[in-house]
Amino acid sequence: MGRFTFITTTLVGCLLSAEMATAQTEVPPYVFSKEKTSVAEVQPTPFKSLKPIRELPNPLLSRVSGQPVNSIYEWENRREEIISDLEEYEIGEKPSVAPENIQAMMSGDTLKVEVTVNGQHLLLTSTIHYPETGHAPYPLMIGTSMISLPMELIEKKGIATMTFHEAQVNDYSQWRQHHERGEHNFDRLYPHLKDNGAYSQWAWGFSRLIDGLQQLGEEKTRIDLSHIGVTGCSYAGKMALFCGALDERVALVITQEPGGGGAAAWRVSHQVDSVECLEKTDYHWFKESMKERFSDDNVYLLPHDHHSLCALVCPRALLMLGNPDYKWLADPSAQVSMNAAIEVWRKFGIEDRVGYSIIGGHPHCRLPENQYPVVEAYIDKFLLGKQGVNTIYRETSLP
């Protein structure tokens, strides 16, 4: 644990010692109406210019200007710098889609979204399950692959649910027959992006569902577009984190037991045996070049790490749920990463919008009752808009 502490302390010291304005005169919004708020065009860090960074890179230091980030508006552009490196070195490009290339409709309670790119069509469908309580427009929780959180914490609160069926975009699965890289539906539309990892392709498809909801509007969908959440567990916990981090129309991200490649920092996991680290993950999910370029001590060449992936959710809300009984999940690394990411929310005076609960004593992807309160708090505050709810959770059963 000594090295973990050193990395966290180094990063926090860097953040606090930088010449930053500490007073925030404007409270950042909880959510945005656009997939991306920044219009900055940022190129990734050239590979030849990368130098080893032993500590977690400072997410609040602009790569382009070399200056610290002092406002939420500067953070919008800094996010683009992080995203450009994340896409270049880890997952591949998540392309934007023009509104005229989206055609949405409701068939009963099923949302249908047809995307047309390069003369190719892709149909996404998902049934919206409306609650028996509350009233329209309803907040919405989207499950990546499925929702493994107890439904009593969601539907009984008057929240609608739907599933993002990721196989409609990229049908890779660890457990069933699937297409190979370059053969997925996404690749028909973007053949030049066949080297993408699944997480960029899945994040792209997830955003197209939200495009459809936006296009149809609240009257047709009965969904409150300002209160959309995303959640998933294990590999889908990673998916939920990438989907929410890369789409600013998501108000709440709950990433459940995401493991390495999710909230855990590659640099920290590199120092621990028998955990999911950069060399030991599923490379259908990521660009194969990441392993070739950043294995072993080359991990320190990454210009970012997954504390920055988590921080991309800021100023929106993020809750990370862990389970230290499963060493593979690298939860000590995730705790270091989350503590570092929290500094970004703290910079803007909104540290109540981010938290974690790393509690053992339960099966994988089975939320125990002692984690119900933190999940309820985040749902109440960020999907239902309840005031006076305590969401500053930093709880762990880790030694």
Active-site residues, by number, are 234, 364
CB half-sphere exposure, 235, CA atoms < 13 A: 15
Torsion angle of alpha carbons 302, 71, 79, 282, nearest 10°?
60
Beta strands 223-233 and 252-256, pairing class? parallel
- Rounded CA-CA distance 164/209 in Å is 8
- Rounded CA-CA distance 235/257 in Å is 8
- Rounded CA-CA distance 277/329 in Å is 9
Backbone angles phi, psi at 224, to 5 degrees: -80, 105
Q: Which helix (H) or strand (E) holds 267?
A: helix 266-269
AA letter at 148: S
8 A C-beta contact, residue 288 and residue 195: yes
AA letter at 317: A
8 A C-beta contact, residue 381 and residue 391: yes
- Rounded CA-CA distance 32/290 in Å is 31
At 305 the three-state DSSP class reads: coil
AA letter at 295: S
Torsion angle of alpha carbons 377, 380, 386, 389, nearest 10°?
0
AA letter at 80: E
Q: With the C-alpha atoms ordered 151, 153, 154, 158, is the resulting torsion angle positive or negative?
A: positive
Query: Helix, strand, coil proportions of the chain in percent (round to 5)?
Result: 40, 15, 45
Residue from 318, 350, 278, 336 nearest 56 by CA:
336
8 A C-beta contact, residue 332 and residue 266: no
Q: With the C-alpha atoms ordered 196, 197, 201, 206, is the resulting torsion angle positive or negative?
A: negative
Convert 198-227 into a string of H (helix), E (strand) and C (coil): HHHHHHHHHHHHHHHHHHHHHHHHCEEEEE
8 A C-beta contact, residue 174 and residue 162: no
